[in-house]
Amino acid sequence: MTRALVVDDTPLNLKLLSALLGANGFEVTTAESAEAARALLAEQRFKLLLIDVRLPGIDGLTFTRALRADPAHRGLVIVAVTAHAMKSDEAAALAAGCDAYVSKPIDTRALVPLLGSLCS
């Protein structure tokens, strides 16, 4: 079972992603901020991180850059999730070290195959 950490400051988004991933064989843990995610990553191992780009405090891309600089998280698959769907936003997410970029509203039919290919 693939362990996933979903980070979003909107409870409804956490619920949707948790239900979708859980129904597709992922073991899901959630956090509402990068700071909370940092604490979870220090205690547990995850294969996948879905992170909202716009978070209070440390934003998702700043957090991604910090994770990519830490050898302990080298194998972590990071997917940016955001309501900002401009080409420049996707480029910024990939430049920060994200493995993929998903815009909201999330196409649930496309997300699971994407995550499966990234985590295999």
C-beta of residue 47 within 8 angstroms of C-beta of residue 77: yes
pTM recorded for the entire structure: 0.95
Condensed to tens digits (0 to 9), the pLDDT of residues 13-36 reads 999 999 999 999 999 999 999 999
Average pLDDT, the chain: 94
pLDDT at position 85 over 80 = no
- Rounded to a whole number, what is the distance in angstroms from the first to the last CA of the chain? 11
Share of the chain above pLDDT 70, in %: 99
Please, what are the domains in the chain? 2-119 (3.40.50.2300)
Report residue 89's pLDDT band, with 50, 70 and 90 as the boundaries: confident
